[in-house]
Structure 1
Amino acid sequence: MLEVALRHRFGPRPRQAGAEPDGFSLDIAFAEPTSGVTALFGPSGCGKSTVLAAVAGLLRPQEGRIALDGVALLDTARGVAVPAERRRCGVVFQDARLFPHLSVETNLRYGLRRAPAGATGPGFEEVVALLGIGPLLGRRPGRLSGGERQRVALGRALLARPRLLLMDEPLAALDAGRRAEVLPFLARLRQGAGLPILYVTHAMEEVDALADRLVLMQAGRLLAEGTVEALSLRTDLPLALRRDAGALLPCRVLAHAPERGLTRLGFAGGELTLPLREDPVGTRARVRLRARDVAVATEKPQGLSTQNLLPATLLAIGEAPSPHEAFLRLRVGEAELLSRVTRDSVARLQLAPGRPVWAVIKAVTFDRAGGAAL
């Protein structure tokens, strides 16, 4: 378990009682399992990187406690503050921070030399294969693309045999093409590294592709925490204001029909059809089903091009960002979906909780999580 409780203020304090404080204050507490990927998510300036710096030991907060598997790394009340170099946290920043005068191989082996004696973890060849950086070993950082540099920085951090991997918006400085290059390697890392990862980002596609759990932040405070799938259904959170708001569904590839250009996915609510993918049958995946792409019908539609017609039950009708719209929460088998419709549709169709409906979803609307198999 990673336990974090921090209070810290940047900037001057108020000069008199009752005055509004100046600067930025952080006051947050959460606890997450030491397995998988936990994403710190929120807008720029909400304190995500400050939390990560405190966990790494790069920032000494004014008050707080940080513990990993019951061992305190920081406890200001008891005067405990383990130095950064002894916390065994591997840190990957936005910029790779490689040694420019050393080759890729030498940069990697520097990380290996920093590993504590007797520490277990992936070996050099395993990390090189995991990140696909074998052809780069003889180059220097100046001859690498941004995506290649980030993969090397990841490798160096892994070879230091950390107990916790901290990633501070590692893809923020990359263009869309380079992000698409690195995301599959991060997804592979998530499966193969076997160590907990705390991942800072403000990009939802990275959360969809990588995160198991989400810590949602705003203005230095915790708004919500939980699994990514559960929080994707919360219409009371700022996530609902996004155009990509909608359910994130764990799926498995069931079959391909190359002659029709289609792939079938199985999920807890049944099956979904989408354009043909290359992933082998049995591959686990997640798809984001945007609420604005889910229509509802009170009778089973006929003669449609849409292939995904799912029987559902309307669970609730909630507020949407626009007063003229509403979120419908739908039960489909053992899964739940969101649909975003106009208030006029709610009245015209006489929609009410408990009513059976059909969820209508075009195959081409699916957003595959980061375009990468998980």
Structure 2
Amino acid sequence: MTINAAFKGNLGDFTLDAAFEILAKGVAGLFGPSGGGKTTILRCIAGLERFSGNLSVNGEVWQDDAAKLFRKPHQRAVGYVFQEASLFPHLSVRRNLLFGAERGNKTGAGETFKLDDLVDLLGLSALMDRAPAALSGGERQRVAMGRALMSSPRLLLLDEPLSALDRQTKEELFPYLEDLHEALSIPSLYVSHDMSELERLADTLVLIDKGRVIASGPLHDLQADPALPLMSAPEAAVALTGRTNEIDKTYGLVTLAVNGGTLIVPSRQARLGEERRLSIKASDVSFTRAAPQETSILNCLPVKILSANVQERDPTHVNIVAALGENGEGARIVGRITRKSQEKLGLTEGANAYAQIKSIALAP
């Protein structure tokens, strides 16, 4: 099942002409610079903005201009979480959640939650009788997510839900978002201009800039595509999923099996067989043509070079895309090295090398 969206029109000086088709599964991140149209697209999907176009969710048509069909917001089974929690200040946490359930009785046709189960999932049990004014920013957002889910949505829309929070509060909220990702079968669209958020949560990515969709597809594929602007960003990285197959309690390390090899990463919380998401920054990857000897870097893996392109912003550096494994059949990683090093080592398409990964960020 898929989400098919196409919207076109003007809002003041802003022009929207965006279309994409993605699987209605997991979390799809809408990513791009501020002012590019991400929130406008989300509001069109919710029916809060009306541009010409078409929209279908899991085969159900919500907008079809040719057929003169447009479902109003209250007719769409959508759960919407805004940048600010927007809770009803005169209602307790419990009554805010139950308000979502009342809306779900009228419009919801998606996954139905029991209040107690959702309270446990979001860690709200100690907050149920509090007023929104007595909650922290992170607590308010957890309640807002709960209220959206209590409406039994077919689609969950999250509009930069962490942007108003400080870094510590964001880190406190991430485990709840990750638990929702694992526990829910509801597809979600998550707007952000912070790639580090999407690396931890998203399965699919829709790149948006200046009102247009540049590309869409699996997160890892777009991160490792040299034709896309993600590769040129200072924070260029790839997100991989690995399965824990060894735990070294003495040194606080775990070994993760990824497509094409294994990676050793610091972690004191791990279970054998569990999947973990990790991020490898381009700036933390270097290359050598010979297998390194007596090095402090724990992760030195054979790779095949897929592409080497000079940075447009900085022609003294080269972006390297490499695939894990001697045959280049594994997951792709990216590295950024000087042009002098690339030419000296002969790191061109098809070359075999070893990637030295200095640091790997592992989602808690």
With normalisation by structure 1, the TM-score equals: 0.92
- 2:333 alignment partner, one of 332, 337, 352: 337
Tell me which amino acid in the other structure corresponds to 1:327: N
Q: CA deviation at 1:29?
A: 0.5
3-state SS of the aligned residue for 1:54?
A: helix
Q: Which amino acid in 1 is paired with 2:3?
A: L
Cα shift readout 1:277-297 (whole Å, capped 9, x = no counterpart): 313222212211111111111
AA aligned to 1:159 is M
Shift of 1:186: 0.8
Structure 1: gaps of 5 or more residues = 12-22
Deviation at 1:331, TM superposition (A): 2.0
Q: Which amino acid in structure 2 is aligned with residue 263 of structure 1? A: V
Distance 1:137 1:215, change over 3 A: same
Q: Deviations over 1:66-113 (max 9, x none)?
A: 111222211222211111001111111011111111111111111111
Deviates more, 1:337-346 or 1:224-233: 337-346
2:360 matched to 1:366? yes
Q: Which residue of 2 aligns with 1:280?
A: 271
Match of 1:70 in 2: 59
* d(CA) in 1 for partners of 2:9, 2:44: 10
Aligned partner letter, 1:86: Q
Q: Does 1:323 align with 2:315?
A: yes
Distance in 1 of aligned mates of 2:148 and 2:19: 26
SS of 1:49's equivalent?
A: helix
Alpha-carbon distance in structure 1 between the residues aligned to 2:254 and 2:166: 29
Deviations 1:283-317 (A, max 9, x none): 21221111111111111111211111111222221
Aligned counterpart in structure 1 of residue 27 of structure 2, from 25, 29, 37: 37
Residue 240 of structure 1 and its aligned partner are, at CA, apart by 1.6
Is contact 1:257–1:276 with CA below 8 Å preserved after alignment? Answer: no
Task: Tell which deviates more after alignment, 172-181 or 341-350.
Answer: 341-350
Cα distance in 1 between the residues matched to 2:86 and 2:40: 19
Q: CA deviation at 1:158?
A: 0.5
Q: Residue 152 of structure 2: which of 155, 161, 169 is its match?
A: 161
Instruction: Evaluate the alpha carbon distance shift between residue 279 and residue 261 of structure 1 in structure 2; reply closer, same or farther with a 3 A threshold.
Output: closer
Deviations 1:237-265 (A, max 9, x none): 22122222122211112222121222211
Aligned residue in 1 for 2:166: 175
For 1:121 and 1:155, locate their aligned partners in 2 and report how far apart those are by CA, in whole Å: 12
How many angstroms does 1:138 deviate by? 1.2
Match of 1:247 among 238, 244, 262: 238
TM-superposed CA distance for 1:354, in Å, is 2.2
Distance 1:305 1:163, change over 3 A: same
User: In structure 2, how many angstroms separate the alpha carbons of the residues matched to 1:106 and 1:292?
Assistant: 48
Match 2:36 to one of 31, 46, 65: 46
Q: Secondary structure at the match of 1:7?
A: strand
Among all aligned residue pairs of Structure 1 and Structure 2, give the percentage whose two residues are the same amino acid.
39
> Which residue in 2 is equivalent to 1:147?
138
Q: Return the letter of the residue paired with 1:58.
A: L
> Which residue pairs with 1:106 in the alignment?
95
Match in the other structure for 1:270: 261
- Aligned partner of 1:355 in structure 2 is 351
- Paired residue type of 1:348: K
User: In the alignment, does 2:120 pair up with 1:129?
Assistant: yes
What RMSD in Å do the two structures reach over aligned CA positions?
A: 1.4
Superimposed CA distance per residue, residues 38-75 of structure 1 (whole angstroms, 9 cap, x where no aligned partner): 111101100000000011011111x1111112222112
Contact 1:122 1:193 in 2 (8 A): no
- For 1:116, what is the secondary structure of its paired residue? helix
Per-residue CA deviation, residues 159-192 of structure 1 (Å, 9 max, x unaligned), is 1101111111111100101111111111111111
Q: Which amino acid aligns with 1:185?
A: Y
**Equivalent pair of 2:305/2:321 in contact (CA under 8 Å):** yes
Residue 203 (structure 2) aligns with: 212
Q: Aligned letter for 2:349?
A: P
Q: Distance in 1 between matches of 2:321 and 2:28?
A: 26
CA displacement at 1:33 relative to structure 2 = 1.4
Unaligned regions of 5+ residues in structure 2, if any? none
Find the residue that maps to 1:115 and give its secondary structure. helix
1:146 Cα offset (Å) = 0.3
- Number of residue pairs aligned between Structure 1 and Structure 2: 356
Q: Is the 8 A contact 1:34 1:69 kept in 2?
A: yes
Structure 2 counterpart of 1:346, from 338, 342, 347? 342
Indicate the residue corresponding to 2:247 in structure 1: 256
Cα contact 2:301–2:355 (8 A) shared by 1: yes
Displacement of 1:121: 1.0
